Amino acid sequence: MKKYEAIIGLEVHAQMLTDTKIFCGCSTKFGSEPNTQTCPVCTGMPGVLPVLNRKALEFAIRTGLAMNCKIAPYSRFARKNYFYPDLPKGYQISQYELPICEHGYIEIVVDGEKKRIGITRIHMEEDAGKNIHEGDHSLVDLNRTGVPLMEIVSEPDIRSPKEAVEYMKKLRTILRYIGVCDGNMEQGSLRCDANVSVRPVGQEEFGTKVEVKNINSFKFVERALDYEIKRQIKVLEEGGTLVQETRLWDSGAGVTLSMRTKEEAHDYRYFPEPDLVPVTVDEKWTEDIRATLPELPDAKRERFISEYGLPEYDADLLTSERALADWYEEAVKSGGQPKAVSNWMMGELMRLLNEANASIEDCPVKPAQLAGMLKLIDKGTISGKIAKTVFEEMYKTGKDAETIVNEKGLVQITDENAILKTVDEVLASNPKEVERYKNGEEKLIGFFVGQVMKLTKGKANPKAVNELLRKRLKEQ
């Protein structure tokens, strides 16, 4: 069997975080009652005129800058004509030959290797409505009609489903960092279509391209592409030919299905939108917007490595969300040792957040409180083990570590005499084990430590317990 490689390009639709639609003042709020967020403009009544939302335009420019694009000094909108009930005007206002952003790239890391994925273009367009299929009818909700979208089109630089997932993740991270999209795939604020083809390794020209639609989670990006690539290779291996078509990812069945759309359905007859004037963006405007960009994920990641001495793994994880990175830096600023803060965040904190299905924004523990708890460990007031209990309590109650330690009497026992008393107690009540230990079963030390810790409710300093036990056992 020949070796094949996949050529993948992604088209990602990102819903912009504006308060109103792209060409009218209707709200973009998600989850409202059907057909309560429409007006004559977005329902395409005769005689109305669309007016571009300034924020949507600035968000598109902002995104272009964050993805290293050239911002077009002159761009315009176009009509994409097709008839479908979720599109009341009979055309979608989009951009065609003069998009707002072009020629960018973002970087991904796959298996430790850095790779650049080109961004062909980013353009603005309006979303369509939502159809619900019911019996022999379809129901139409036009709330989403006119919600501002960016379509971010990648170059066919992606070579595997894994790279596609990394690309999607990086895209989402950047969009969230710069505050233009919430990246919520379940609610459809980030949607992905893929162009996939395969070719024998070494062949120059691309194979026949298939468009896969409806890929709406990271998991499905990988599964849908995996399936489609295998399907295409199988067709070729069996001597068949591929047809250029659109296929729909059916997540329930785990397959892509041909939509059997005829070629002529793609005759969109684009033409410049006469109802909207062109958009010009000068250097000053671009630079003004650039100045408001936050530190981007890649730069932050590099800084976390150099400034805090974190391993790449930690830096990756902590910079995957801006809020997480901010939380981290706040804790370090409050005096937490950088690696210790990272360990606690990636361990206990993430575990508790995941259990509660919460995000860092809702974390009841404040960064300074984690730093405060780490200080107690450093001072020897509490052991690392007790700290876990303390941290859980902090998460539950929002109280400071010190308060909890005092309230619950969790202060570590470092007083040798106090520990020695318990050590003697344990040895006296386990004469058989002491005998076995003396006969060479040294691993029983763990048993004794365990007993002491149990009696002290985990508060004894483990190091001191160990030392005192060995000392006493030797003396016996």
Partner 1 sequence: MRIDRKQVEHIAKLSRLSITEEEKDIFGTQLSNILDYIEKLNELDTRDVTPTSHVIELTNVLRDDTPRTSLPLEDALGNAPDRTEKFYRVPKIIE
Query: Which of 132/358 has CB closer to partner 1?
Result: 132
Helices 431-438 and 462-475 sit at what angle, rounded to 10 degrees? 80
Say which residues have a Cβ less than 8 Å from residue 269's Cβ, sequence separation at least 6. Answer: 81
The β-bridge relationship of strands 130-134 and 245-250 is unpaired
Contact 173, 12 (CB under 8 A): no
CA distance 82 to 305: 51
Side chain identity, residue 220? F
- H helices present in 77-180, as ranges: 161-177
Query: Which of 23/167 has CB closer to partner 1?
Result: 23
Helices 54-66 and 283-291 sit at what angle, rounded to 10 degrees? 70
DSSP 3-state of 325: helix
Query: Which of 85/254 has CB closer to partner 1?
Result: 85
Q: Tokens at residue 289, please? A: 């917007």
DSSP 3-state of 139: strand
Q: Tokens at residue 12, please? A: 């990602």
Query: Which of 272/311 has CB closer to partner 1?
Result: 272
Q: Which of 204, 214, 275 is nearest to 248 (CA)?
A: 214
Residue 145 C-beta: closest distance to partner 1, Å: 11
Q: Which of 468, 435, 470, 466 is nearest to 450 (CA)?
A: 466
Residue 141 C-beta: closest distance to partner 1, Å: 6
Query: Which of 276/418 has CB closer to partner 1?
Result: 276
CA distance 250 to 51: 37
Query: Which of 111/136 has CB closer to partner 1?
Result: 136
Residue 45 C-beta: closest distance to partner 1, Å: 9
Length of the chain: 476
DSSP 3-state of 323: helix
Q: Is the dihedral of CA 395, 397, 398, 399 positive or negative?
A: negative
Query: Which of 244/258 has CB closer to partner 1?
Result: 258
Query: Which of 149/469 has CB closer to partner 1?
Result: 149
| Binding region for partner 1 (CB under 8 A) | 18-20, 24-27, 33-40, 43, 51-57, 76, 81-85, 131-133, 135-142, 264-265, 267, 269, 272, 274, 276-280
Query: Which of 145/319 has CB closer to partner 1?
Result: 145
Residue 46 C-beta: closest distance to partner 1, Å: 11
Query: Which of 277/356 has CB closer to partner 1?
Result: 277
Residue 19 C-beta: closest distance to partner 1, Å: 5
CA distance 7 to 155: 10
In the sheet that 148-154 helps form, which strands lie side by side, from edge to edge? 70-71, 101-110, 113-126, 148-154, 4-15, 190-200, 210-215, 245-250, 255-258
Residue 276 C-beta: closest distance to partner 1, Å: 8
Residue 353 C-beta: closest distance to partner 1, Å: 32
Say which residues have a Cβ less than 8 Å from residue 320's Cβ, sequence separation at least 6. Answer: 169, 173, 297
CA distance 428 to 438: 14
The torsion region of residue 62 among left (phi > 0), alpha (psi -120 to 50) and beta comes to alpha
Q: Which residue is listed with tokens 């990394």?
A: 166
Residue 282 C-beta: closest distance to partner 1, Å: 10
Query: Which of 277/323 has CB closer to partner 1?
Result: 277
Residue 64 C-beta: closest distance to partner 1, Å: 17
Contact 114, 312 (CB under 8 A): no
DSSP 3-state of 69: coil
Query: Which of 76/300 has CB closer to partner 1?
Result: 76
